[in-house]
Amino acid sequence: MRKTINSFQLILMFAVLAIASVPFTVWAGDPKAGESKAALCLTCHGKGNTVQGVGTPIISGQYEDYLIQAMKSYQSGTRNNPIMTGFSISLSDKDIEDLAAFYADMDSQLFTPTE
């Protein structure tokens, strides 16, 4: 018996091809390396759900790409904050990726400290 491809199978094939071709980003950050670089960060941002104060955002459990974007924005001046510009200016791209991986890896709920 000769097999033919019906239109459903054809659509399925295109769908699989389309999904397979979607580019996705793999962050290269290493959470272990990030932990060893985070001593200073931890004094202000804490770990997990520890609240350090109204003005200091909780970053544990935040999306990795958000953290990378935020730190690079402080470096470039797109975000202007004297404290974070100072702490991010000397970080390499690898440092940023490692730190982001470390914080993103934490099981923590994000919320806005109110006191």
Applying CB under 6 A, the residues found at the interface with ligand HEC are 40-41, 43-45, 55-57, 59, 67, 70-71, 79, 81, 83-84, 87, 99
Shortest distance (Å) from residue 34 CB to ligand HEC? 8
Residue corresponding to tokens 């994000």: 110
Closest CA to 101 of 23, 36, 24: 36
Residue 9 or 36: the one with the smaller Cβ distance to ligand HEC is 36
Shortest distance (Å) from residue 3 CB to ligand HEC? 55
Cα separations in angstroms, 55 against 15, 23, 47: 47, 37, 16
Distance between CA 87 and CA 59 in Å, rounded?
A: 15
Residue 23 or 55: the one with the smaller Cβ distance to ligand HEC is 55
